[in-house]
Structure 1
Amino acid sequence: MNEQQKLKRATYHLFTFTISKIISSFGAQVYAFAISFYILQLTGSATSFATNLICNLLPRALVAPIAGYAADKYSRKKIVIISQLVTTLAIVGLLLVSMTYGLSLLAIYTTTVVLSIATSFTGVTFTSSVTGLVDEDRIQRAMSLNQISMSFAAIGSPAVGGLLYGTVSMEVFLEMYIAASVLAVLLESTMNFNLFSKRKAKEEQDQKETMWQSMKAGIGYLKTKQVLMTMIWISLIINFLFGAFEVGYSFILIEKLKLASQHFGFTQGAFAVGMLLFSIYFSIRKEVKFPFLVSKRGIIGLGIIMGAMAIPLMISLSYWSIFAYYFIAMFTFGATIIVVNTPIQVMMQKMIDDDFKGRVFSILESMAVALMPLGMIIFGYLYDVMPGQYILITSAVVLIGVVLVLARPSVVRDAHPELKEKNAVVEKTSTAL
C-alpha cells in the first residue's frame, strides 16, 4: 500500500473511529441512565445504587493492567472486537434474564461487572491503537474526535434516556443497546489497526516473559521518561483533587444554594457544551506547538475556576445571578478541560513507544480509577464537617501549587527543547540591540 492509499485509509479510520465511539459511548450512557433509574425505583436504596457504581469502577481498576499487557502482546484489533462482542453478549444475557425471570439486582450487578471488564479492554486497546490507525499529523484530530463523541454522548444521553424511560420498557432499552453494540463491532472489523503502527515484529516481542515481568518492564520504561512521569503524576493529582469539585458541586448548588433541578441540569449541560465546542475547535486547528506548556497553563486555569466556584458561597447573589454565574463557570470549566487534555494526550501518543502504550495507559487508568472513589469518600466527609468554600479554595491552591512545582520551567524546557533554542535566539537579539 503506497503512502497516498494509506492516507486515504487513515481518513476512513477517522470516520469509523468517531462513529464507533459515538455509538458505543451513547449506548453505554443511555443504558447507565436507565439502569440507575431502574435500581432506584426497584429498591429506593442509595446503597444499591452505590453498589452498582462500585461494580463498574472496581473491576476497571483491577483489570486495566491485564488489558494493557494484552494490548502490547496480542492483536489489538482482535482484542477490541472480542471485547465489544463480550459487551453485546452480556446485554443479550441480561435481556434473556429479564424476559424469562425479570430483572434482579444480582443480574444487573453481574452484567455491570462484565461490561466494566470489557470496557477496560476496549478503552485501553483503542487508546493504544491511535498511532496505528492514523498518521502523526492527524493524531490531534483523532483525540479531539474521540472527545467529541464522549461530549455528544454526555449531552444527548440524559435527554434520550429520560425521554425513552417513561415511554418504553427496559427490554427495549436493552435491545437498542445490543443493536448499537453490534453496529460498533461491524465498524471496528473494517479497520486496520497496524496501518501506521511501529510495533516490533511478533518474533521480537514474543519473549517468554510473565505478565508480571511485562508490567515491571512497563514501569521500568516509565522511569526512563522523566517528562512522561511528570505528566502522569499531574494527571493523578488532578483526578484526586477533582473529587472536591465533583462531590461539592452538586452538594453546594442543590443543598446550599437551593438551585432547582432543571437549572442545575442546565449548568451541567453547559459543561458538556464547553467540552464539545472546544473539542471541535481542536479537531480543525493546527497541532499545538508546545502541548506541555499549554496544558500547564490550562491546569492553572482549572485551579482558578475551581476556586471561583466558592464565590457565591461568600457573597450574597440573587437566584438568577447564581444560575448565570455557574452556567458560565461550568462552560468555561468544560472548555478548559479540553485545553488541558487534548494537547497532553497528543504528546503522550507521540512520546510513548508503540510496544509500551498498552501498559503505560493501563497503569494510568488503573491508578486514576482507584483514586476517584478515594477522593469522593474523603471530600464527601469533608463537605459534611467543613464549609464548602474552604474546601474548594484549598483544593484550588493545592492544584495550582502542585502544577507549578511539578511542571516548573526546567521540566517544561525538557519537554520542549525547542523552547531553549527560541529563548537563546531572543537573548541574542536582545543583546545585539
Structure 2
Amino acid sequence: MMEHHLKVKKATYHLYTFMISKLISSFGAQVYTFAISFYILQLTGSATSFATNLICSILPRTLLAPFAGAITDRYSKKAIVISAQIATTITIGGLLVYTFTSGLSLLAIYVTTSILSITSMFSGIAFTSSITSLIDKERIQKAMSLNQMAISFAAIGSPAIGGILYGAVTMPVFLVIYMIASSIAVLLESTMNFKLFAKEKEVVEGAEKESLLKSIKLGIDYLKLHPVILLLLWMALLINFFFGAFEVGYSYILIEKLQMKSQHFGFTQGAFSVGMVLMSIYFSIRKEVKFPFLVSKRGIIGLCFVMAAVAIPLLTSLSYNLIVGYYLVLMLTFGSLIMVINTPIQVMLQKTIDEEYKGRVFSIIETMSMALTPLGMVLYGVLYDLFPGQWILMMSAGLLLCVVLFFARPSEIRKIHPELGGGKETIREEVGAV
C-alpha cells in the first residue's frame, strides 16, 4: 500500500516535470522556428524557400521514424530522451559558432533544421511511448492534455516574444535563448524514472535479439491486426498532404501578401495556442471521451472550414486592424479544433497499443501519416509562387472535406464504436459534450 502511494506520488512529480520540461524545450524551439521562418521570408520573399525549410523539418523525421521506434523499444527510453536533448543543445551551439564565423546562410539553416527535426523526433517518440510507464493509468488523458497544454503555452508566448524581439535583437540572441532552454530540459528529464509503471516484460533484458529491420517488421505486422489504426493512418496521410496548403500558405499570405507586422503575426500564432490551451484544460478536467473517432471526425470537418476561411481577407478589402482581429479569432478556433481531433485519438491509442510495441507503432504512425507531407510542401511551395493563394486554400479545403467524409463515413464509425449502433441520441450526447 505504502509502495503504491509512493509510486502515485512519483507519478504526480512526473506529470508536472514532464509538462515543465516540454514547456521549456518547446518554448526555445518555437522562438527559434518563428525567428528562422521570418528571416527566410524576409530574406527571399519566396514561398518555395519557406517550404524548403518546412521540408527539412519533416523529411528526416519521416524517413528515420521507424528506426527511432525500433531503437526506443530496445534501449533505455531515458537515455534516448536525454541524448536527444543534449544533441539539440550542441546543434544550436554549432549554428551559433557558424553565424559568428561565416554569417547566417540558408544552407546552414536547412542543415540545422534537419538535425533538430531528428533529435526532437527521437525525444518525442521515446516520451510518447513512455507515458504509461511514467504515469498511472487513471491519469493518461490528464497527462496527454497537460503535455499538449505545455506545448501550447510555449506556443502562445514564443511567437509574441519572437515577434517583439525580431528586429530588436540579433539572430545569435535567439540561438542563445534556445540553448539555455534545451539545457534546463536535460536537467529536468534526468530526474525522471522511466520504469515506474513499466510492466516486467519491458525490464527483462536480452530476451529477444531480433534485428532492427525484423523489429520494425513486427511493428508493421502488429499494426495490421488493428484495423482502427490502419484507417487512422490512411486518413492522416491524406489530411497531412492537403494540410500543406495551410502550413505553407498561412505564413506566406500573412507576411508576404498582407504585409502583416512581425508582432501582429506573432499574436495570431499565439491565439492558435490559446485555443489549444483552453481545450487542453477542458480535456484535463472532463471525463474520458466515449467515442474518440467520432469526435475527431467532427473536429476535422471544422478544420476544413477554418482552412477555407484563411483565404477570405484576400477576396475582400478589409482594414489592417480588422484583418489582424479576423486572424486572431480564426486561429483561436483552429487551435481548439486541433485538440478536439488529437486528444481523444491519442488517449485511445495509448490504451489500445501493447507496451512493448508502443515505440514502433507510434513511429510507424508518424512516418506513414507524414509520408506525403514533404511532397505536399514542395507542391504547395511552387503553387503559391504561381497562383493566387485564396484558390489554392479553398480547393485544398474542399478536397480535405471529401477525404474525411469518405474515410470516416457512418459505417466505419460504427465498426470502431459498435456500441453506437444506429443511435443518434448517443452521438448527439457525445458530440454535445465536446
Same fold (TM over 0.5): yes
Matched, 1:347 2:348: yes
C-alpha change, 1:178 and 1:421, in structure 2 (3 Å) is same
C-alpha change, 1:407 and 1:16, in structure 2 (3 Å) is same
Superposed counterparts of 1:2-401, under 5 Å: 2-35=3-36, 52-96=53-97, 101-103=101-103, 105=105, 110-164=111-165, 166=167, 170-198=171-199, 200-203=201-204, 206-253=207-254, 263-311=264-312, 322-383=323-384, 388-401=389-402
Deviation at 1:85, TM superposition (A): 1.8
Matched letter for residue 186 of structure 2: V
Q: Distance in 2 between matches of 1:227 and 1:414?
A: 9
C-alpha change, 1:301 and 1:162, in structure 2 (3 Å) is closer
Deviation at 1:294, TM superposition (A): 0.8
Deviation at 1:343, TM superposition (A): 0.9
Deviation at 1:330, TM superposition (A): 2.3
Deviation at 1:315, TM superposition (A): 6.2
Matched letter for residue 348 of structure 1: L
C-alpha change, 1:44 and 1:389, in structure 2 (3 Å) is closer
Q: Deviations over 1:160-212 (max 9, x none)?
A: 33444555555554443333222211111111112222372455874232111
Q: Deviations over 1:398-420 (max 9, x none)?
A: 32322222222233233223334
C-alpha change, 1:164 and 1:60, in structure 2 (3 Å) is same
Matched letter for residue 237 of structure 1: L
State the aligned residue count: 424
Q: Distance in 1 between matches of 2:51 and 2:393?
A: 24
Q: Greater CA deviation, 1-10 or 352-361?
A: 1-10
Larger Rg: 1
Structure 2: runs of 5 or more not aligned: 428-434
Q: Deviations over 1:191-250 (max 9, x none)?
A: 111222237245587423211111111111111100111112222222111112233334
Deviation at 1:53, TM superposition (A): 4.6
Matched letter for residue 67 of structure 1: A
Q: Deviations over 1:250-293 (max 9, x none)?
A: 45556666666655544333222212221222222222122111
Q: Distance in 1 between matches of 2:187 and 2:79?
A: 13
> What TM-score do you get using the length of structure 2 for normalisation?
0.85
Structure 1: runs of 5 or more not aligned: 427-433
C-alpha change, 1:321 and 1:104, in structure 2 (3 Å) is closer
Matched letter for residue 149 of structure 1: A
Deviation at 1:341, TM superposition (A): 0.9
Q: Distance in 2 between matches of 1:321 and 1:161?
A: 22
User: Identity of counterpart residues, as a percentage?
Assistant: 62
Q: Greater CA deviation, 73-82 or 370-379?
A: 370-379
Give yes or no for contact 2:52–2:378 (8 Å, CA) kept in 1.
Answer: no
Q: Deviations over 1:318-363 (max 9, x none)?
A: 6655554443222212211111111111111111111111112212
Deviation at 1:387, TM superposition (A): 5.0
Q: Distance in 1 between matches of 2:264 and 2:98?
A: 38
Q: Greater CA deviation, 397-406 or 160-169?
A: 160-169
C-alpha change, 1:217 and 1:321, in structure 2 (3 Å) is same
Give yes or no for contact 1:199–1:354 (8 Å, CA) kept in 2.
Answer: no
Q: Distance in 1 between matches of 2:262 and 2:175?
A: 28
C-alpha change, 1:235 and 1:54, in structure 2 (3 Å) is closer
C-alpha change, 1:411 and 1:92, in structure 2 (3 Å) is same
Give yes or no for contact 1:73–1:206 (8 Å, CA) kept in 2.
Answer: no
Matched letter for residue 160 of structure 1: I
Q: Greater CA deviation, 416-425 or 327-336?
A: 416-425
Q: Greater CA deviation, 221-230 or 234-243?
A: 234-243
C-alpha change, 1:332 and 1:176, in structure 2 (3 Å) is closer
Q: Which residue of 2 aligns with 1:431?
A: none
Matched letter for residue 335 of structure 2: G
> What TM-score do you get using the length of structure 1 for normalisation?
0.85
Deviation at 1:17, TM superposition (A): 0.2
Q: Deviations over 1:73-99 (max 9, x none)?
A: 111111111211222233344445556
RMSD after superposition: 3.3
Give yes or no for contact 1:199–1:355 (8 Å, CA) kept in 2.
Answer: no
Q: Distance in 2 between matches of 1:218 and 1:177?
A: 35
Q: Distance in 2 between matches of 1:51 and 1:244?
A: 14
Matched letter for residue 281 of structure 1: Y
C-alpha change, 1:186 and 1:383, in structure 2 (3 Å) is closer
